[in-house]
Amino acid sequence: MQQLTQKLGSGDMVIQEIPYPQVGKGMVIVKNHYSIISAGTEGSTVQAARKSLMGKAKERPQQVKQVLDTLRKQGPLQTYRAVMKQLDAYSPLGYSCSGEVIEVGEGVTEFRAGDKVACAGVGYANHAEVVAVPVNLCVKLNDTSNLKNAAYNTLGAIAMQGVRQADMRLGETCVVIGLGLLGQLTALMLKASGVTVIGIDVSDSAVKTAVDNDVVDLGFTRNAAGIEGQIQRTTNGHGADTVIIAAATSSLDPVNFAGAIARKKGTVVILGAVPTGFDRDPFWYRKELELKMACSYGPGRYDLNYEEKGIDYPVAYVRWTEKRNMEAFQNLLTTQKINIDYLTTHEFSFNEAPKAFDLVVNKTEPFIGIALKYDYSKTPKQEKIITNEKSASGTLGISFIGAGSYAQGNLLPNIPKKETISKVGVLTNSGTSSKRVAEKFGFNFCASNDADVLDEKTNTLFIATRHDSHGSYVLKGLKADKNIFVEKPLCLRESELTEIIQEQERSNKAVMIGFNRRFSPLTQAIRVKFGDGPKSMIYRVNAGSIPADNWIQDLEIGGGRIHGEVCHFIDYLTYVSGSMPVSLSAQAMPDVNGLNDTLNVLLKFENGSTGVIAYYANGSKSLSKEYIEVYSQGSTAILNDFKELKIYGKGKPSKKKLINQNKGQKEMVEAFVNGLLSNGKAPISFNEITAVTQATFKVLESIKRGGEQVEI
């Protein structure tokens, strides 16, 4: 299938073949008939991509700060990889489309193949021949629906949410500032509701379009003489009941002008991308104006449970969700209560999409809505795409399932370049990332489904997906007799762990987990110095907070931070002690979200060693993240953030200091690959991997039991 992509670094925009999307749980696969280009949102993205690096930096000061922070903590190599990953990536464009359902995923009951639908969502409703969309970002259409108009789905829902935030009554007056695509839709809905609409824009043509199509009752250009007085006369001297700002600008003029034309105790709704640093006097303060923000499509936006899991809000408590806003917009179109035929000023075939974006960026002629039309007579094929014609002839055939930021920064670059190693296939949730990773790192193909990367040419599978899929992919790999490298955690359910143990015993294949810290050169120095005798150990982690709505904190998807990260530190103490964990107790600090991400864990090991993991999400960001102390037989090691090691014993302390932080990722990947090539074994024993995983489950059990000691 074909998709429109752009590179953030160069601004290059191409239509290219990418793998057919995977039909995940709660997803529908849609063959696009139309998609709509948003001149505001997408236009700014394309313009930014075409700027120089300095221009990009000026537009994104917050991201520059993140880059500098990464440079300080992780050094130039990791920073370079992180930046280049973003700049070299194929970024999909588009977020509003319509078409026909061709496949539905597990648990989907409201859609079936052949249904006409409209879709929404950045990263979902792309400019592509085929898209995969969650059920709550997809609405069913009537058979008679005009699919070109229906493709305005996202923009219609955004406009409707702005109207709902305005909460206007019949006969009231609303001023809409900004008569681009979003402003036109907003004005149409307001007028259909019996509201008197005054439209304002800096563009003469935008105002003329609104007036000529009876979208507004009155229209003015922003620089029209006496505009405030005319609004006063129209509203009988009161001022506008509500002002909706649908413009996109860095200027403060819209929000200050809104204060000037609104009535006392009126409302101003921010729908577009404008700054809100208004002047307190003379209008906002004296009129006691109310400022409201309209959040995109409506309730449910940015909620993982709603958008990804498909969990709806009860209609009795949340009447208008983002999906219901979309449905209401489509109903307005079907019943012809609003007519948006005039909005599509330009239509291009999908193959001409780059030309359409040139029009958006260069503004060579006036436009409002730009539609892309697809050749929907084509039958999409689920087949892998060849990215490297060189045959996979090495004794070690490696494929990847999942290849996000961590994999691209720490796993893929560190696979040794040897003739005995072949890079076979890549499969990710995003066809664009699959294609780019396969090209950049020299894999033979990017895949459309699991079977492609589990064929006979692959004997070693790297799994770097979201945590909830680790266990199932490990099992699939072992059942297909593949060696496995899985990013932590091994799995999220004890039942999966039991199955994995049984399947590994059957296949006798190597299983490796991404516990990289034990491979750090400074960790190796500690092991050499202290050997296998009993030790007392402290591992303090200044983890920092992660919002409760982040996927990592979701127990079903990310497993929480104990599964996602504390397992690292249990493994580290297991390795340094030279012994298996046998029991533990854990207590977490209570918090309102029940995240269990500020906790202490006390571990006991077979050889008598003890270890404390102090994992804190409530500390200062200025403090280093990881600090370790090891005590044994009169000697002490202090390791600070994997950059500096001091060992105290007799005489003067020994010191080792690295220029850059080294958490052992490179050494870990090399040890795994070289181990397979030499003896077919992983550098961490399977017993250690399962013991640490079991201990992670026991941490949660101990917390639930009030810190009671539990056996592992």
CA distance 591 to 421: 48
Based on the fold, state whether residues 572 and 691 are members of the same structural domain: yes
pLDDT tens digits for 561-592? 999 999 999 999 999 999 999 999 999 999 88
Q: How far is CA 584 from the centre of its chain?
A: 35
CATH of the domain at 638: 3.30.360.10
Residue pair 220/195 in contact by the 8 Å Cβ criterion: no
pLDDT tens digits for 537-567? 999 999 999 999 999 999 999 999 999 999 9
Residue pair 15/353 in contact by the 8 Å Cβ criterion: yes
Based on the fold, state whether residues 226 and 240 are members of the same structural domain: yes
Residue 35 banded pLDDT, cuts 50, 70, 90: very high
Closest CA to 641 of 619, 663, 621, 608: 663
Residue 328 banded pLDDT, cuts 50, 70, 90: very high
Closest CA to 197 of 244, 267, 157, 237: 244
Average confidence (pLDDT) over 300-313: 94
Based on the fold, state whether residues 558 and 579 are members of the same structural domain: yes
Based on the fold, state whether residues 525 and 656 are members of the same structural domain: yes
Look at residues 483, 513, 543 and tell me which one is the last residue of a structural domain: 513
Average confidence (pLDDT) over 463-468: 96
Average confidence (pLDDT) over 14-28: 92
Based on the fold, state whether residues 359 and 285 are members of the same structural domain: no
Q: Could you give the angle at the alpha carbon of 141 between the alpha carbons of 135 and 144, nearest 5°?
A: 165
Residue pair 147/33 in contact by the 8 Å Cβ criterion: yes
Domain range enclosing 687: 517-711
pLDDT at residue 365 greater than cutoff 90? no
CA distance 262 to 268: 8
Based on the fold, state whether residues 271 and 222 are members of the same structural domain: yes
Residue 207 banded pLDDT, cuts 50, 70, 90: very high
Based on the fold, state whether residues 345 and 283 are members of the same structural domain: no
Based on the fold, state whether residues 369 and 395 are members of the same structural domain: no
Residue 657 banded pLDDT, cuts 50, 70, 90: very high
Based on the fold, state whether residues 114 and 85 are members of the same structural domain: yes
Q: pLDDT value at position 66?
A: 65
pLDDT tens digits for 251-289? 999 999 999 999 999 999 999 999 999 999 999 999 999
Name every residue whose Cβ is closer than 8 Å to that of residue 419 and which is 6 or more positions away in sequence: 394
Q: pLDDT value at position 61?
A: 62
Considering the entire predicted model, what is its pTM? 0.89
Indicate the average pLDDT of the chain: 93
CA distance 19 to 79: 29
CA distance 668 to 240: 65
Based on the fold, state whether residues 146 and 189 are members of the same structural domain: no
**Domain count along the chain:** 4
Q: pLDDT value at position 72?
A: 66
Based on the fold, state whether residues 610 and 666 are members of the same structural domain: yes
